[in-house]
């Protein structure tokens, strides 16, 4: 039985005061209304709000993570943040390979793989994102693209390290567009990804990997998505910026 995950990716939103207020609100609703025994909740604020996030969530059972990291440990990489720095503030998770990083910052599978390996070496849990564009889906090349993102991003990752990796399937055409993949479309891809993991790592390991769906998940479609056999929760963008909506999505995963 895989424990579900609901993760909030705030992207480049919220100043420090707003971040602290939202974290406090989410923490309050979770404490008063929700149970975390069958769902892991993770918040991904911006880098500079991360130390506050760790502090405000202490003792709540909610995890904190960063939206990206650099692949090197330290050095002359102006503006960048390494996995060890993320670890040093007490955060436990990092998102790697988000489509916005691939699209706007030129991150390819090779860079993503270097980042995944670096984060795993530091002992962080990785949410590794993959997803096809609309053109790739319409030209029916999405299975090849997803396979390549998955397998190349996980190059040199062994079965034991895979325990610390969660896959997030986020079709680019569904991100921030209000256009969610149907539960059947998402399930089809999740089953395909699990098959690929099974071919590489064996079936029992593949069955233990959590695969999240992301792309316009909202309180009213979350339950149906999370009921699918191979969908183990969600990576939430827009709806994670509203405490009540995010909490309702956590409830849908319980």
Residues contacting ligand 13P: total by CB under 6 A: 14
Using the minimum distance from each CB to ligand 13P, give the nearer residue, 6 or 39: 6
Among 81, 237, 246, 247, binds ligand 13P (CB under 6 A): 237
- Applying CB under 6 A, does 209 fall inside the site for ligand 13P? no
Beta bridge partners of 94: 66, 126
Q: How far is the CB of 2 from ligand 13P (least distance, A)?
A: 20
- Applying CB under 6 A, does 214 fall inside the site for ligand 13P? yes
Active site residue 98: yes
The single residue listed with the structure tokens 């064996």 is: 202
CB-side exposure of 26: number of CA atoms within 13 Å?
A: 37
Q: How far is the CB of 28 from ligand 13P (least distance, A)?
A: 22
CB 95 within 8 A of CB 66: yes
- Applying CB under 6 A, does 170 fall inside the site for ligand 13P? yes
The single residue listed with the structure tokens 């040199």 is: 156
Q: How far apart are CA 230 and CA 10, in angstroms?
A: 25
Using the minimum distance from each CB to ligand 13P, give the nearer residue, 146 or 217: 217
Q: How far is the CB of 96 from ligand 13P (least distance, A)?
A: 12
Q: How far apart are CA 34 and CA 41, in angstroms?
A: 11
Tokens of 212: 């999240």
Q: How far is CA 29 from CA 32, 194, 234, 244, in A?
A: 5, 33, 19, 8
Q: How far is the CB of 164 from ligand 13P (least distance, A)?
A: 19
Query: Which active-site residues does the annotation give?
Result: 98, 170
Which residues of the shown chain bind ligand 13P in the complex (CB under 6 A)? 9, 98, 170, 175-176, 214-217, 235-239
């Amino acid at each position: 039985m895989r424990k579900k995950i609901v993760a909030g990716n705030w992207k480049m939103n919220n100043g420090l005061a707003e971040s602290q207020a939202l974290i406090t609100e989410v923490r309050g609703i979770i404490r008063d209304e929700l149970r975390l025994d069958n769902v892991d909740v993770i918040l991904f604020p911006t880098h500079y709000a991360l130390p506050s996030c760790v502090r405000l969530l202490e003792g709540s059972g909610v995890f904190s993570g960063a939206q990206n990291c650099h692949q090197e440990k330290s050095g002359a990489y102006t503006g960048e943040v390494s996995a060890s720095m993320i670890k040093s503030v007490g955060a436990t998770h990092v998102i790697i390979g988000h489509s916005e990083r691939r699209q706007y910052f030129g991150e390819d599978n090779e860079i993503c793989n270097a980042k995944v390996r670096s984060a795993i070496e530091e002992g962080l849990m990785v949410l590794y994102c993959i997803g096809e564009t609309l053109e790739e889906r319409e030209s029916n090349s999405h299975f090849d693209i997803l396979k390549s993102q998955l397998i190349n991003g996980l190059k040199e990752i062994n079965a034991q390290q895979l325990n610390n990796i969660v896959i997030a399937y986020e079709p680019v055409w569904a991100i921030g567009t209000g256009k969610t993949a149907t539960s059947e479309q998402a399930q089809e891809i999740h089953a395909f990804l699990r098959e690929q993991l099974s071919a590489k790592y064996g079936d029992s390991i593949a069955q233990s990997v959590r695969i999240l769906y992301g792309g316009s998940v909202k309180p009213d479609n979350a339950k149906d998505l999370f009921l699918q056999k191979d969908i183990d929760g969600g990576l939430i963008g827009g709806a994670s910026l509203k405490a009540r909506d995010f909490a309702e999505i956590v409830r849908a995963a319980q």
